[in-house]
Every structure is written in C-alpha cells, then in structure tokens.
Amino acid sequence: MMRSSSKFIVLLTSTLFTCSHAWADEEGDPIGRLLQVQALLNTPEPAQQEAPVEQIQVASLSISQDIDHLTAEKEISHVKAGTASTDPLATLIHTGNILTTDNTRQMIADSAFNYLNLPYRYGGNNVATGFDCSGLVRALYLQVAGKSLPRRTSEQAAATTKINRTQLQPGDLVFFNTNRRTYSHVGIYVGDNKFIHAPRTGSRIRIEDMTATYWNTRFTGARRVELR
C-alpha cells in the first residue's frame, strides 16, 4: 500500500511539471515577462546633455547676424521710402564717423534748417517765442555744441576767430552791416554761399544767398567759433 502511494505521488509530480512547461511554451513565461517589465521600469532615462559651448556661440552669432541683416534691410527700406533719419547726430553715429569740431559745426548748420519759418522776435531766444539773429546763433551753438556765446551780435563777433570768406565752412558765422554798425547782423553759414538767419520784425527765419547784391555789399566778415 505504501509503495503504491509513493508511485502515485511521483506520477502526479511528473504530470504537474510537464503541464507547467506546456503552459509556459503555449503562453510564455509569466515570471520572465514580469522580470523584463521590471527591468524596463528600472532602466534610467539617458541624461539630457547640454549643448556644447561651441554650439551656443554659433547660435548666438547666427542670431546677431540675423538682427544686423534685418536692421540693414530696415534702413534700406527707409531710404527707398524717403523716410531716412535726417538727424545729423544720428547720421554720424550710423556712418561710424568720429565727432570732431568740423562734424559739430556741420551739425549746427544742419540743425539750423529745423528753425526755418519760425518767427522773428526782437530779443527772442527760444522756439516758443521766436528768435532774433544773435539769439538764433546762440541757441544753435548751445543746443548742439554746448557752447555758450555772448548774446549780442557785436559781442559774438568779438568772441570768435576771424577767417577769410574763402575759408567759410558750414557752421561758421557771417556778419553784416544792416543798421549802420559793422556787426549789426549775424547768420549761420550752411554752405554754397548760403546762410540761415532771423531777418527782422514781421519776417521768419529763412535762407539767404550771400552773393545777392544786398548781402554782398553789406558783408563785414566771417568768423569761426572755437570749440576746443
């Protein structure tokens, strides 16, 4: 009886072992699958690498070049549209020129055009009230060059350096005898024998030609403001 029972147990164990292998072959090893899933879950994700410094520098340079390119295109579009800046200081900065005394005088001459058609006012020295001739000169040099000139025409002549008419450059001063005084009127020379001035009561700031008979016969001297 005991021997029969032992045989039965051995047979049952063998049967179960065979069946388990059959299930594993038919549906796969569930324990193996579980271990594979667990291994995948435990596998760390690759660390995110930082871009090399060289790549960052190249990207930065590319962005900078794009900005420069867009800026240049904008400037070109403004020029084509006729809307480019006429501010003399902005022009000097854009072209990379060095600010010199000659540049400053040119800026003064250019700025004088902004005052055209403002009213003449005796004793006037600002945009709100208008200007007389010496007030206009004084305002331009103070605004553009930070140079404080005397208020009266004769005093401005005395405070500046005499030059020949042939040496006139934009921004220099031109003086005339319009009231029986050697230095009774002054204007800003703007080139090509032209000057800008505030003429008289009832008139407006305007451009005049120095070669016109009236001004040519009353011209009394050219002066240069020392800015150094």
The domain spanning residue 216 has which CATH number?
Answer: 3.90.1720.10
Q: What is the pLDDT of residue 101?
A: 72
Q: Which residues form the domain of 164?
A: 112-224
Q: What is the pLDDT of residue 32?
A: 56
191: left (phi over 0), alpha (psi -120 to 50) or beta: left
| Domain-embedded: residue 55 | no
| Domain-embedded: residue 138 | yes
- What is the three-class DSSP state of 208? strand
| Domain-embedded: residue 176 | yes
Task: Determine the Cα–Cα distance for residues 200 and 186; give it in Å rounded to an integer.
Answer: 12
| Domain-embedded: residue 172 | yes
The amino acid sitting at 59 is A
Q: What is the pLDDT of residue 47?
A: 47
Instruction: Return the closest-CA partner of residue 223 out of 179, 194, 183.
Output: 183
Per-residue burial over 71-107, b if 16 or more Cβ lie within 10 Å, else e, is eeeeeeeeeeeeeeeeebeebbeeeeeeeeeebbbbb
| Domain-embedded: residue 28 | no
What is the set of active-site residues?
Answer: 133, 185, 197
| Domain-embedded: residue 185 | yes
| Domain-embedded: residue 38 | no
Q: Give 10-residue mean pLDDT values along the chain (228 residues).
A: 48 44 45 53 51 48 46 39 42 44 92 98 95 98 97 98 98 97 98 98 98 98 94
| Domain-embedded: residue 1 | no
Q: What is the pLDDT of residue 221?
A: 98
Structural domain total, the chain: 1
As given in the structure block, the two tokens for residue 165 are 């008419």
Task: Determine the Cα–Cα distance for residues 14 and 228; give it in Å rounded to an integer.
Answer: 114
